[in-house]
Amino acid sequence: MNDLVSLFRNFIYRDLAFILGGSIVLLSALHAFGISLHRLQDQPYTLFLLTVLAYVVGYAVQDFGALLPGRPTSTGYVLRPGRLSRFLYWRFTGSGWEPLTFARSPEEALQFAIRMNKPKAVPKTILRELERIRSLKVFSMCVGGCSILSAVI
């Protein structure tokens, strides 16, 4: 039962983000071309097909955003943020940015990487927090990128 709850939680955070972001883009495109959703309701399986298309569009926009020069969006960890990111960090936290270190030596970093590949060796609270951060990054990348594309449309 715990696995089912975990699977559902991952669906909500990730896949629903793709559907939401893709829906933003699709609805903007439909509006731009003057297509009413009421006309599409009469077609069988329209809602299912639009949901699948929204998922694909949301996923594609998120991945495309990570490939752009300067990487305006990324789910990766930022090792050296730019000047603007450091300034925003200072404005939000009131303190200067310092590099994140989870290990004091390269050997500790290697041990941590090995443990990350074996989730049972890492405390559940740390895994839960890392998963939350990754899910929020995916959500913000997808919905943010789709919102920008929607504004362009």
Length of the chain: 153
Number of CB atoms found within 10 A of residue 64's CB: 12
How much is the average pLDDT of 136-141?
81
How much is the average pLDDT of 103-128?
65
What was the pLDDT predicted at 71? 59
Q: How confident is the model at residue 39 (pLDDT cuts 50, 70, 90)?
A: confident
% of the chain with per-residue pLDDT over 70: 67
